[in-house]
Amino acid sequence: MLGIPQGTLIDIETTGLNMGQDEIVLFGYIRGSHLEIICRSSREEAPFIAQLAELVPTLPKPFYAYNLAFEKGFLQAKGIDIEGIDLFQPWKEKAEALFLKWPKLDELFSHAEHYFNEPVISGRDVPLLWQRFLYTEDNNYLQQIIKHNESDLLRELYLLVYYRDSYKV
C-alpha cells in the first residue's frame, strides 16, 4: 500500500486567488494511505470552515502541499493556522537555476487526456464550476471539482514519495 509515512498532504479548491475575499469550496487530503475530500454543498461557507477548523488540528503533521503558501494563506484568512513543507520549493529552485518560469503542477505532470486532446478540469475552472453548481444545484459540477482535486492530490503524492529526499521534515 502506497501512502505518506508521516504527515498529511493537503490541497484546497477556491473561488479565486484573493485570500481575503474568495472562498474555500473543497479541502482534500491524504493521510497515510487514506484519501479524503470534503466538499461544500451549500452557498454558506461558515459551517464548512467550522468543520475544517475542527478537523485540521487533528491531522498528522507536517502538512505537505504544492505551493503551500496558497493553502496556508487561505486557511489563515479563515482562522486556521498551519505549517508545513512546500512540495513546490525544489522545483521552483531548479527552474530559477535554469532561468525557467516556475512550474505549475500540470506542467510537471501532464494528464493522459492531454495526449488525446481531451479536456481536463484545471484549478482555473473551479470558480465557474462552483457558480454553476450554486445556480443549478447539479452535483455533476461538484463531481468535476472533486475529480480535479483527486488528480492534484495523487500527482502531489507522487512528488512526495518519488522525490522524498528533496523534502526535509
Q: Which domains does the chain have, with CATH numbers?
A: 8-166 (3.30.420.10)
Q: Is the dihedral of CA 17, 21, 27, 29 positive or negative?
A: positive
From residue 43, how far is each of 38, 47, 75, 86 by CA, in Å? Answer: 15, 10, 18, 30
More confident residue, 92 or 24: 24
52, 141, 86, 91: CA torsion to nearest 10: 180
pLDDT per position as a tens digit, 91-132: 899 889 999 998 888 888 888 888 888 888 999 999 999 999
More confident residue, 120 or 45: 45
More confident residue, 1 or 40: 40
Residue 31 pLDDT greater than 90, yes or no:
yes
pTM of the model as a whole: 0.92
Residue 1 pLDDT greater than 70, yes or no:
no
Q: What is the pLDDT of residue 119?
A: 84
Residue 106: Cβ within 10 Å count: 15
Alpha-helical regions (H) of 66-125 = 68-77, 89-97, 105-108, 112-115
User: β-strand 63-65 against 8-14: which pairing, if any?
Assistant: parallel
